[in-house]
Structure 1
Amino acid sequence: MQHGPAVRRRKLGAELRALRTRAGLTSDEAARRVGWHQSKVSRIETGRSGVKPSDVRLLLDAYDVRTPEVRELLVVLAGSDEGGRHHWWHAYRGLLPQAYRDFISLESQACAMRTLETSVVPGLLQTPEYAREVTRATVKGLPDGKLDALVEVRRARQDVLRSQRPLRLSAVLDEAVLRRPVGGPEVMGRQLERLREAASLPHVRLQVLPYGAGVHVGVTGPFVILSFPSTSDLDVVVLDHLTSSLYLERKEDLDAYSEAFNSLRIQALSPEDSLDFIAGIIDGV
């Protein structure tokens, strides 16, 4: 049985292999320390097999990994604990697709997010009313109860911006995001005000990419780059499609999207000018 989505298995396995190597152990020696067969260690490290949180703790103890942040991150990547303790999104298992739950899991443990949005406001910055209209438009035929639940999921995700160690969010928004009418003038007015409020947070950087910037690398579509504490080896690029999400983990992909995001930030308005730009749109709503 595999525990956890494929992207988490591969990243967790790669990090455990690096920690074993750093500890100066072969896979045979590691297996003997925890009382396993060598093949189990090999399957975990290559991502071919999942691993329970309790097994991750065994390996981390064997590798003498004591840093709390590293231990917490790797245990979470393993998935839910077998003792019945679940993260908040597990209450929505019957409603949320696996790909969405996987994204929420990674987002909850990330220390930073860089995102380009070309069509709608990023989910972490959406008001409930705006989120309802976007969800209604993208998921057709939802009964009110399920629609309410999906909006609540969106709201719960935003807790990462209000936690003790908040997510550092850097967002570049195409002007179309601000101009596209969603839910009418009142909904859009409140949403634009929400963007201004969020931009005042010390861990949120918001920039607008105006039409005047012309053609840019972001015309190929929106993307998200998630970064994690302690190691860059766990960073991942997420591309959303209508029915699925694509995770890019290769260093070449991460470098390419990081370079693209840096280019977009240079072309975009400064955070201060972006706030003035949004204020001008609010005055016209």
Structure 2
Amino acid sequence: MRYGPAVRRRKLGAELRRQRELAGLTSLEAARAVGWHQSKVSRIETGASGVKPADVARLLDAYGVTDPELRALLGALCGAGSPVPGEGAGARRGWWYAYRDRLPPAYLDFISLESEASRLSTLETTVVPGLLQTPAYARAVTRAALGDPAPEQVEELVRVRMARQAVLRGEQPLEVCAVLDEAVLRHEVGGPEVMAGQLRHLVETGSLGHVRLHVLPFSSGGHIGITGPFVIFSFPRIADLDVVVLDHLTSSLYLERKEDLRAYGAAFTTLREHALSHENSLEFIAGINDGA
């Protein structure tokens, strides 16, 4: 059985390999230390197979990793979350596990990374980011994206989207920095009333200390993000876990190479510098809603 989406497995495997090497152990020595075959350690480190939270703990014990924050992060990457019924007290999953048979693997990848990241930087050119959507707006976007979906399918996807927004609450909420093309704010998704509510919600959410909004007005002209939206997930403590996500109509592309991360990171910095400040962006959004 594979534990956790593919992107997360690769990230976890790479970090476990790094910790093994820091401990000065070969994969054979690590396997012997925990009573496994060497091939199991190799499969975990390459992301070919997943690993249970209890097994991650065994490996970290063997590598002498005692840092509680690092252990917690790697535990989260292997799917630690809510208990899994019928799999024993040590087996835990993220809340999205209940939807594993009804959501595309790429979406599960995205949700799991979003749930474990410390920071999300996103450029949006057409729609409001999912984490900042109201239920009514999310419902309208879902209907438009799927064509003619069954009502129950729409409602389930909206529930998932609202559940995702839990990362904005809690003791250590996800930090969000969103650059929004003005077109995002001008498209009347769902009609004037739905859009007015969405714009009010953006202003309210933007008042949270960990959510920063930057509007790229039409007057800014062409910009580096004109080729399409993207998301950068950043993780605490371990920069090598960062990943860029490009969304397409039927799939998502995950970029993990360091050169890609550098390029998109630099692009996002440029976009943010050319956009309105956070404070001016909130005034701009409120002004659209007031008909200014």
TM-score normalised over the length of structure 2: 0.93
- Counterpart-to-counterpart distance in 2, 1:64 and 1:208: 46
1:95–1:146 Cα contact (<8 Å) kept: no
Q: Does 1:204 pair with 2:211?
A: yes
- Counterpart-to-counterpart distance in 2, 1:15 and 1:259: 24
Offset of 1:162 from its aligned partner?
0.7
Offset of 1:134 from its aligned partner?
0.1
Range with bigger deviation, 237-246 or 255-264: 237-246
Q: Which residue identity is paired with 2:24?
A: G
- Counterpart-to-counterpart distance in 1, 2:97 and 2:54: 19
Cα displacement string for residues 191-225 of structure 1 (whole angstroms, at most 9, x for unaligned residues): 00101011111111101000111110101100000
Provide the residue aligned with 1:191 in structure 2. Answer: 198
Aligned length: 285
Provide the residue aligned with 2:129 in structure 1. Answer: 122
Q: Does 1:131 pair with 2:132?
A: no
Q: Tell me, what secondary structure is at the counterpart of 2:290? A: helix
Q: Tell me, what secondary structure is at the counterpart of 2:93? A: coil
Aligned with 2:268 (options 261, 275, 281)? 261
Q: Which residue identity is paired with 1:221?
A: G
Q: Tell me, what secondary structure is at the counterpart of 1:130? A: helix
1:13–1:45 Cα contact (<8 Å) kept: yes
Provide the residue aligned with 2:152 in structure 1. Answer: 145
Q: Which residue identity is paired with 1:177?
A: V
Provide the residue aligned with 1:250 in structure 2. Answer: 257
* Seq. identity, %: 68
Instruction: Provide closer, same or farther for how the CA distance between residues 161 and 136 of structure 1 changes in structure 2, counting only shifts above 3 A.
Output: same
After TM superposition, the runs of 4+ consecutive aligned structure 1 residues lying more than 6 A away are none
Provide the residue aligned with 1:68 in structure 2. Answer: 68
Offset of 1:69 from its aligned partner?
2.3
Q: Tell me, what secondary structure is at the counterpart of 1:169? A: strand
2:79–2:92 Cα contact (<8 Å) kept: no
Provide the residue aligned with 1:164 in structure 2. Answer: 171
Cα displacement string for residues 72-101 of structure 1 (whole angstroms, at most 9, x for unaligned residues): 222222236643543221222232111111
- Counterpart-to-counterpart distance in 2, 1:279 and 1:170: 18
Alignment of 1:1-285 (within 5 A): 1-79=1-79, 82-83=87-88, 85-284=92-291
Q: Unaligned regions of 5+ residues in structure 2, if any?
A: none
Q: Tell me, what secondary structure is at the counterpart of 2:79? A: coil
* C-alpha RMSD of the superposition: 1.5
